[in-house]
Structure 1
Amino acid sequence: MNASSRGLMIAVGLGILLNPLNSSMVSVAIARLQQAYRLDYAVVSWVIFSFYIASAIAQPVMGKASDLFGRRRIFLIGLVVAFIASLLAPMSPNFGSLISLRIVQSIGTSMMVAVGMALVRIHITEKQATALSVLSVFLSGAAAIGPFFGGMLLYIWDWQAIFAVNLPFAAASFFLARRYIPKDEVPASAVRGKTLRQWLDLIDAAGIALFAAGLVALLVGVLSAKSSGHISVWHAGAGLIGLVLLAVFVRHELRTASPFIPLRAFANYPAMTRVNVEFLLVNFLFYSIFFGLPSYLQTVRHVSELHTGLLMLSLGLCSLVASPIAGRWIDRKGPRPALLLSAILMTFGSVWLVTLNPNSPVISVCIALAAFGISNGLNSVGMQAALFASSPKAIIGVASGLFNTSRYLGTILSSFVIGLVMDGQFSFAGFRAVAIILTLTALILMWMSRRRRNMAQLDKAQSV
C-alpha cells in the first residue's frame, strides 16, 4: 500500500469513527446531563434517541446522495457539518438546543459512514480486503472505547468534552481527505437537467419525511406520557399521529418507484427478512446493556464516571478480541454455530443481570459485560455473513441498506424500552425489569438461531 492509499485510509478512518464514537461516549454522560439540565431519565434519553433516529434516516439518504453528487464531496461536507455541531454543542443554553445540535452532528457523521467504505472500494484496488478490515477496526474500536473514553473526559472536564473531542479528529480527517481522496467523477447526466420535483422523487423526499415525522411523533407521545405519569390528550394525539404517519409511510413505500426503504424486499426474500429481524433483536440486546449499565453503575451503585468507563471497557475489549476469532471460525463452519453461541451467551448474560442485587460486587457486572462483548464480536461477523448468504447478489445493495436500518431500529428500541421502564429516574427495580425483558428476548433469539440450524440441516438432507 503506497503513501496515497495510506493517507486515504487514515482520512476515511478518522472520519467514520466519529459516528460510533459519539453514539457510545454519551452512554456514560446520561447521569451528568440529568444533573446539568435538571431533567428526568426519559427526557435525557432523547440525547440517544435523536442521534440514532437521525442516523437511521441520514445514512441511506446520504448513500444515495453520494451516487448523485460524488462521494468525496459528501464526505467533506459531512466533516464540516460534524465539526460545526461539535463546536457549538458545548455552548448549548438549554437541552433543546443540545438535542438540535446532536441531530446535526448525527447527520454529519452519517454522511461519512455512508460513503467511507465505498471510497475504499473504489480507490484502493490492491489488498482491498485488508483495507476494509482496517476500517472495521476504526468502527468497532471507536464503539468499544467510547464509554471508557467518555468516562475519562467526564472525569477530567465535564459533559462538554464529549463534543469538543471531535474537533481534532474532524480537522485532521478534512485535511487528509482534501489531499488524498481523488476528486469525484460524477457523470453530468446524473446531476444536470432535473427539475426540483424530479430530485424530490429520486431521493423519495416524501418517504423520508413520513418516516421521520411518524417515528418522532410516536416516541414523543409515549415517552412524554411515561415521564409525566399520566396520559393526556396531547400525549395520545402525538402517538396516534405517529402511528398514522407510519402507516401512510408503509403505503407510500409500497407504491413509489424509488422507495427510501424498499419494503417489498422483505416479502420477496424471507431469508433476508429473518436475518434483519435477528439483527434488530441482537442490537436491542447489546445496546440495552450498552446504555443501561452505565446509568445503573452511576445512579444505583454510585460508581464514578471514570470507573464506569473502565468497567465498560471490558465489553469493548471482549468484542474486539472475539471478532477476528469469529472470522476464522465462520470461514470454516459458516455463521450458524457462531450465531447460536452468541445467542446462548446473551441469554446467560441477561439471566446473570437478573440475579444481581444492590449488594452484589460491582466487579460481578463484568461477567455480563464479557458475555455480551464476546457475543457482539461473534455477531459483528456472523450476521454480515448470514446476510450475504441469504441475499441474492442482484439486490445486495438494497440488502445492506435494510441491514443498517435494522441496526438503528434495534438501537432505538433499546433506548425506548429503557426510557419506558424507568419511572423518570433510573432505579434498581427498573434495571431488573429491563434485565427480565432482555432474558425473554435472548431466549427468542436463541430459538431463532436454533431453528436456522435445523432448517439448514433439513435443506442439506433434502439436497442429498
Structure 2
Amino acid sequence: MLLGSVLNPINSTIIAVALVPIGRALGAPASQTAWLVSALYLATSLGQPVVGRLIDVFGPRRLFLLGTGLVGVAGVAGALAPNLGILIGARVLLGFGTCAGYPAAMALVRSEAERTGRDGPGGVLTALAVANQTVAVVGPLLGGLLIAVGGWRATFALNVPLAVAAVVLGLLRLPKALPASGSTRHGNLASRLDLPGMGLFAALLVTLLLFLMNPHLRDWYLLALSAAAGVAFALRELRAATPFIDLRVLGGNTPLLATYGRALVAYVVAYAFLYGFTQWTEEGFGLTPFHAGLAQTPMFLLAIGVSIVSGRSTGVRGKLLLGAAGQIVACLVMLTLTGDSPLWTLLLVALVFGVPQGLNNLALQNSVYFQADPERTASSAGLLRTFAYVGSMVASSATAASFGQHADTGGLHRLAWVMLGAGVLYLLLTLFDRTLGRASGTGTRAPA
C-alpha cells in the first residue's frame, strides 16, 4: 500500500529540480517545460476518481497491478525520450499509472477496518500520510541527488525499479478479490461504471484545467465548454441509477465538500512553494539542483516529525488551524527574501513550511476517511487528490504568471502574495467549519 501510494507524490515533486536541466538539455524555455508539471496533473486529476470508482467496483488488486505496471513503462519512455514531446507523453503515462496506488490503499484500509471491527485504524492512516508526505517533501532532494549522479533522465529511470517492486509485492500480498458492495452487485458493466458520467466529468475537468494552465480572456471558450460539461454532468449524475459521483449524497455531505475546498486552497500554497520557491533558489539565488533540493531538508525532517507526533491524535481541527497558520507565516517570510539573503533565511522558510506539510495532508486524508460514504471510499479518496491537483494547476499558473521568463526575486514576491491570499482563505474555511469536531475516529459517518 505504501509503495504504490507514493509513486504519485514522488513523480509530482522530483520534477521540481529537473525543470531547469531539462530545459537546458532540450532547448526548451520555462513556458514549455511547465507542461511536464501540467501533463501529470491533468492526467491524475482525471484518473484518480475514475480509477477510484473502478476500485470500488472491482477491488484494488487488478487496478493496482495495471497502474504500477504502466509506471514502469512510462519510466523507460521518459529515460529514453529524445525530445520534449515524448517526455511530456511519458509524464501523461506516469499520471495515469500512479492513479491506482492511493485509492487502492484507502480501500484496503477500509476493508480491513470492517473485517477487524476497528473503525479508526489511526496508525495505518498515519503511516500512509507520513509516507506520502515524506516522499513529497524529499522529492526535490532526491531529484537533485539523481541529477548530480546520472543527469535528469535518472529522475524518470527511478520509476522502473519502484514499479517492479510494487508489482511483485502486489502479486504476492494483495487480496485477489473483495466482495462487491450491495450497490454494485447487479446490473451490466456500463451501468455499474456510469461511462457517460465519466465522459462528461472528463470533459469538465480537461477544459477547466486547460484554461487554468494559461488563463487568458482569449480562451474564454474553454470556460464556456467547462460550464456546459458541468451542467450536463450534474443532470446525468442526478438521474443515473448508479452514478459515477453520487451528487445527491455528496451534496448532502457538507463536511466532505468543505474538506475538498480546503484541499484545493491548501495545495495552491504547497505546490506554489514546491515549484516556485525551488525554481527561484536555482535561478534567482544561484543554487545547483542538488543544493536547491538540499535546502529543503529542514522541511523534510520537520514534516516527518510533525506527522508522526500529530498522528497520535484522531482530531483534525487543531491540525488544520496550525497548518494554515504555518503557511501564512512562511509566506510572510518569503516576502523578505532577496538574491542577497543569507542562506539561513532559505532554510528558515523551508523549516516553517515543514509544519503545514506535516499536518495538512494527514488531517485532510483522515477527514475524507471518516466523512465519506464507506461504499465509495476509493473514489472519494481519488476525488480528494483531484481537488489537490486542481490546486496544483492554479499554483502552476500563478507561478508562470509571477515569474514570466525568469524566476527572479520580484516574481517570487508576487507569488508569495498569491500564496498568502490562499493561506488566509484556508484559515477562514477552517475557522468557520463547525463540523470538524466530528471528523475523527469517534465521529459520525456519512450516510450510505
TM-score range, shorter chain: 0.7 to 0.9
State the shift of 1:416 in Å: 2.7
* Residue 140, structure 1, aligned to residue 144, structure 2: no
* Residue 114, structure 1, aligned to residue 103, structure 2: yes
Rate the CA distance shift 1:359–1:293 in 2: closer, same or farther, 3 A: same
Rate the CA distance shift 1:448–1:207 in 2: closer, same or farther, 3 A: same
Rate the CA distance shift 1:391–1:167 in 2: closer, same or farther, 3 A: closer
* Residue 202, structure 1, aligned to residue 183, structure 2: no
CA distance in 2, matches of 1:384, 1:453: 18
State the shift of 1:148 in Å: 0.7
The structure richer in helix per residue is: 1
CA distance in 1, matches of 2:184, 2:254: 35
Match of 2:301 in 1: 317
Match of 1:179 in 2: 172
Bigger RCO of structures 1 and 2 (CA < 8 A, at least 6 apart): 2
Question: How do 1:237-256 and structure 2 match up within 5 A?
Answer: 237-238=221-222, 240-256=224-240
For the residue of structure 1 that corresponds to 2:335, the secondary structure is helix
Question: How do 1:193-232 and structure 2 match up within 5 A?
Answer: 198-221=188-211, 223=213
Match of 2:351 in 1: 370
Higher mean displacement: 28-37 or 345-354? 28-37
Match of 1:461 in 2: none
- Matched to 1:81, the amino acid is L
Match of 1:279 in 2: 263
Rate the CA distance shift 1:402–1:116 in 2: closer, same or farther, 3 A: closer
CA distance in 2, matches of 1:246, 1:372: 35
Contact residue 68 and residue 186 of structure 1 kept, 8 A: no
CA deviation map 1:85-124 (0-9, x unaligned): 1111122232222222211112112122221343455469
Rate the CA distance shift 1:139–1:444 in 2: closer, same or farther, 3 A: closer
Question: How do 1:306-455 and structure 2 match up within 5 A?
Answer: 306-328=290-312, 330-331=313-314, 334-387=315-368, 399-452=380-433
CA distance in 2, matches of 1:50, 1:344: 31
Higher mean displacement: 215-224 or 440-449? 215-224
Contact residue 53 and residue 379 of structure 2 kept, 8 A: no
Match of 1:43 in 2: 32
CA distance in 1, matches of 2:65, 2:380: 26
Rate the CA distance shift 1:384–1:270 in 2: closer, same or farther, 3 A: same
Rate the CA distance shift 1:82–1:426 in 2: closer, same or farther, 3 A: same
- Matched to 2:166, the amino acid is S
* Residue 31, structure 1, aligned to residue 15, structure 2: no
State the shift of 1:69 in Å: 3.6
For the residue of structure 2 that corresponds to 1:110, the secondary structure is coil
State the shift of 1:51 in Å: 1.4
Contact residue 78 and residue 107 of structure 1 kept, 8 A: yes
State the shift of 1:153 in Å: 0.6
Contact residue 336 and residue 453 of structure 1 kept, 8 A: no
Contact residue 315 and residue 369 of structure 1 kept, 8 A: yes
Higher mean displacement: 390-399 or 50-59? 390-399
What percent identity do the matched residue pairs reach? 27
TM-score (ref. length: structure 2): 0.85
Contact residue 280 and residue 406 of structure 1 kept, 8 A: yes
Rate the CA distance shift 1:382–1:153 in 2: closer, same or farther, 3 A: same
Contact residue 253 and residue 262 of structure 1 kept, 8 A: yes
State the shift of 1:405 in Å: 3.0
CA distance in 2, matches of 1:316, 1:237: 41
CA deviation map 1:169-200 (0-9, x unaligned): 2112222322333433667x999997xxx534
Rate the CA distance shift 1:256–1:43 in 2: closer, same or farther, 3 A: farther
CA deviation map 1:432-462 (0-9, x unaligned): 1110111122222223333347998xxxxxx
State the shift of 1:19 in Å: 1.4
Match of 2:48 in 1: 59
CA distance in 2, matches of 1:378, 1:266: 25
* Residue 163, structure 1, aligned to residue 147, structure 2: no
Rate the CA distance shift 1:421–1:260 in 2: closer, same or farther, 3 A: farther
State the shift of 1:430 in Å: 2.0
* Residue 288, structure 1, aligned to residue 258, structure 2: no
Rate the CA distance shift 1:16–1:358 in 2: closer, same or farther, 3 A: same
Match of 1:16 in 2: 5
Rate the CA distance shift 1:453–1:361 in 2: closer, same or farther, 3 A: farther
- Matched to 1:108, the amino acid is G
Look at both structures and tell me which one has the larger radius of gyration over its CA atoms: 1
For the residue of structure 1 that corresponds to 2:286, the secondary structure is coil
State the shift of 1:216 in Å: 3.1
CA distance in 1, matches of 2:164, 2:40: 21
Contact residue 68 and residue 190 of structure 1 kept, 8 A: no
State the shift of 1:217 in Å: 3.5
State the shift of 1:278 in Å: 1.6
Higher mean displacement: 159-168 or 405-414? 405-414
Match of 1:459 in 2: none
Match of 1:75 in 2: 64
CA distance in 1, matches of 2:124, 2:434: 32
- Matched to 2:279, the amino acid is S
Aligned length: 433
Higher mean displacement: 45-54 or 258-267? 258-267
Q: CA RMSD in A?
A: 3.3
Contact residue 67 and residue 100 of structure 2 kept, 8 A: yes
For the residue of structure 1 that corresponds to 2:50, the secondary structure is helix
Match of 1:3 in 2: none
Of 79, 95, 99 in structure 2, the residue corresponding to residue 90 of structure 1 is 79
TM-score (ref. length: structure 1): 0.82
* 5+ long unaligned stretches in structure 2: 438-448
Match of 2:441 in 1: none
Rate the CA distance shift 1:132–1:355 in 2: closer, same or farther, 3 A: closer
State the shift of 1:246 in Å: 4.0
CA deviation map 1:353-393 (0-9, x unaligned): 11222221233122222222111212233334445666677
State the shift of 1:320 in Å: 1.0
State the shift of 1:347 in Å: 0.9
